[in-house]
Amino acid sequence: MHRKFKIKTKPYYETGLGAAYLANSLDLLKKLPDNSVNLIITSPPFALTRQKEYGNKPETKYNNWFLQFAKEFYRVITNDGSFVVDLGGAYIPGHPVRSIYQYELLVRLCNELNFFLAQEFFHYNPSRLPTPAEWVTVRRIRVKDSVNIVWWLSKTENPKSDNKQVLKPYSESMKSLLKNGYKAKMRPSGHDISEKFN
């Protein structure tokens, strides 16, 4: 968030690096100026099949509920800003088939609110419980769900980014390729890799 304005709400916690607020997030969002936030990262309550104590929305109401926040996200994000959302999947109640609510939400975010999908990522969490137990541990007709979808969305086609910040070291085979060069040839994929590769 730009430092040129103050939110007229008392921070719950504050340091020289920023402030944290304990409030209704929708109310707080509405207090922010247009085009004032560079990055929004959220992992909201998912559209789970069972009601949780924290008040998650059922799948049938989830996307409409989420869009009220997303409209504010779009308003406050800068033109080079990003909106990243982590969403877990859900099964259709009583059936061993998956809901497609996340994909329906993505389509609505892009078609109705004009977000662009910069890229999709997948959050792998192998420690998740094997649920729903009926399909995974009792009947054993499905495998444990260990992946969340992460959508990276933006207001324009060119959100600020730099993949040099997340590079990994070259593999041994890539080091060998760089050392020994590449023999120009047609790949099985149909790509014609020429001498220019070297």
pLDDT at 61: 87
- Phi/psi of residue 118, nearest 5 degrees: -70, -45
As a whole number of angstroms, the distance between CA 147 and CA 92 comes to: 17
Domains assigned to the chain = 34-163 (3.40.50.150), 168-198 (no CATH)
Q: What is the dihedral of CA 78, 108, 110, 121, to 10 degrees?
A: 90
- Give mean pLDDT, residues 35-48: 89
* One-character DSSP codes across 48-75: -SS--TT-PPPHHHHHHHHHHHHHHHHH
The confidence band for 26, taking pLDDT boundaries of 50, 70 and 90, is very high
Mean pLDDT score, 35-59: 81
Q: Which residues are catalytic?
A: 43-44, 86
Q: What is the pLDDT of residue 127?
A: 92
Find tokens 């104590």 and name the residue.
Answer: 53
User: What global pTM score does this model have?
Assistant: 0.83
Give, in degrees to the nearest 5, the angle at Cα 191 between 187 and 192: 85
Angstrom distance (rounded) from CA 101 to CA 45? 13
